[in-house]
Amino acid sequence: FYKNNELYDLGTKGSGVTPYSRSGDGRLTLKGGVREVLCSNYLDALGVNTSKSLSLIETGEYLSRNDEPSPTRSSVLVRVSHSHLRIGTFQYHAFHQDTQSIEFLTNMIGKYYFNLNDQNNQPIKIFSEAVQRCATLAASYNVYGFVHGVLNTDNINITGESFDYGPYRFLEKYEPNKTAAYFDRFGLYRFSKQADAIFWNVQQLASIFTLMVNKEILIEELKKFVDLYNQEVLRLFFKRLMIKPSSDSAKNNEILKAFYRILVDQKFFFEEVYYDLRGGLAKIKNRKDIIQKYQKYQLEKIFQNHDPINEINLNNLNLIPYETLHYNEIEKIWEAIDKNDDWSLFNNKIDSISKLKEANIINGLG
C-alpha cells in the first residue's frame, strides 16, 4: 500500500512453511513475537530505520523449540516495511542461475523503492544506494547500542531497514564483544563486528550484480562503505547528543573517543551516558551533579567546540524519558504473560516507548 507517496509492504512472520523455510516449520513462538514487537517499537522510537509491528496474534497452537521451554505458545506477527527483499533473495535466484528474475527485481527496486526514474545505469545506482543505506544501518547499530544477533544475507533488507529480530540484545554496559545468539560461539555477529558483517553482506550483493555491472565499478562503490560508515557514526552520535559537530574533524573524533573512554572506564549504562550528556555544555553547565559524576573527564573542555543543535530544544530535554530495553526487562514482561497471561507489563512498556518516540520527534531525534 502507499502512504505519503511511499510504498509499504505487509509481511507475516509465523504463518507457516514457505519455499524458503528449509527444515523449519515456519512458525513463531509467542515469546518471539513479543520480543519483536518490543524491539521494533523501541528502535523506531530511537529513530532507527526499522520495520514496524502492525499486529501480533496468538494462534492457540503449541510449538517445540530447542531454545525455549516447550511446548510453548505460538503466534503470527504482521509487520510493515518498505520492502521484504533481502540480499538473500538475490542469492536465491543467483544460485538457480535465474538472471531474468534478478533483473526483474533490480528494475522493481529502482522504480518502487529508490524512485529511480532514469533507466540509465540503474543497476549501479541501485547498488550505490544499497551501500549507503547499509552503511547507515551498521552505524545506527553502533550508536544505539544494538546487537542484532544474526546478520546473514537473509536478515539484510535491500532498503537498509533493520528487521527480523530474533536473539537480539541492547547493550546494558559497553561490551564490544557482546553477542546475542546462543549459537554464535565465535562472535561472528558480536557488537564490534556488526559493521564487518553488514559489509560482507554488501559484498555478496556485489558479486551478484557483476551479472549486470562491470566488476571494477562495483569495487569502487564497495570502497566507499568504510568512509560512509564512519561519517554516519559521527552524524548519528552528534544527533543523539543534540550538539553540532565541529568543522575540525580532529575535535569530532576527540569527543567520540572521550565518550567511549567514559563507557569503558566507568561501566555506566550505555543509555545513561547519552542521557546525561545530551545537550552538551548548554545542559551540563547547570547540572552540578553531572559535572561531579564525570569530573575526571573535563566535560567543559570536551564540549567547548560543540554548540547545541537547537537552543529551543534544550528546554524540552527533561521531557525525554530515560527508557531502556534490557534483556531482564524483556524476560520479566514475558514471565508475566507466560505464567499468568498478564499483558499489563507489556502494554505499559509499549506506552512508555510511545512517549519516548513522541519526545524524540519533538526534539528532532525521531
Contact status, residue 205 vs residue 93, Cβ threshold 8 Å: no
CA dihedral sign of residues 171, 173, 175, 180 = negative
Contact status, residue 124 vs residue 217, Cβ threshold 8 Å: yes
The answer for 52, left when phi > 0, alpha when psi is -120 to 50, beta otherwise, is beta
Q: Which of 9, 154, 307, 338 is catalytic?
A: 154
Write out the three cell numbers for 359: 519526545
Determine which helix (DSSP H) or strand (DSSP E) holds 79, and give its type and residue range. strand 72-81
State the burial class of residue 216 (Cβ atoms within 10 Å of its Cβ: 0-12, 13-18, 19+): exposed
364: helix, coil or strand? Answer: coil
Task: Examine the residue annotation and report whether 154 is marked as an active-site residue of this protein.
Answer: yes
Q: How far apart, in whole angstroms, are the C-alpha atoms of residue 306 and residue 91?
A: 45
CA nearest neighbour of 140 among 21, 229, 241 = 229
State the burial class of residue 106 (Cβ atoms within 10 Å of its Cβ: 0-12, 13-18, 19+): buried
CA nearest neighbour of 311 among 208, 226, 242 = 242
User: Which pairs count as long-range contacts for 209-215, CB under 8 Å and 24+ apart, including other chains?
Assistant: 209/123, 209/124, 209/127, 211/94, 211/99, 211/102, 212/102, 212/103, 212/106, 212/123, 213/123, 213/124, 213/127
Q: Report cis status (omega within 30 of 0) of the bond before 19.
A: no
Q: How far apart, in whole angstroms, are the C-alpha atoms of residue 165 and residue 246?
A: 36
Write out the three cell numbers for 22: 528449509
Q: What is the DSSP-derived secondary structure letter of residue 60?
A: E
Determine which helix (DSSP H) or strand (DSSP E) holds 7, and give its type and residue range. strand 6-7
Catalytic site residues?
A: 154
